[in-house]
Structure 1
């Protein structure tokens, strides 16, 4: 075997949300915001961060 670059795959960082919370967040994204409640017509990362912080007291 020659010396050089080797493939070394990482699993990445540990998710901060549980699988149940990720599933719920995916449903929120799929449904989209309610303009009357959320005050926006589309989800941006900033809006989703607020939802995560409000629901699960975490910021990703």
Structure 2
């Protein structure tokens, strides 16, 4: 696995170990996109944020490649 894959795995492990902090980061990113796009894609950012949160909470998410 390359450096990007290693970094991604480390980020996933950190998020699983600190879900409250990860939630703050996801919420901040979602807010930033909504602000910059004038909420044009609000439904899509909500769906994406929920998917990301599920990936590190309760063992959910997509399988490792």
Give the TM-score band, short-chain normalised: 0.3 to 0.5
Q: Which has the larger radius of gyration?
A: 1
Structure with more of its chain in helix, by fraction:
2
TM-score under structure 2 normalisation?
A: 0.32
TM-score, length basis structure 1: 0.34
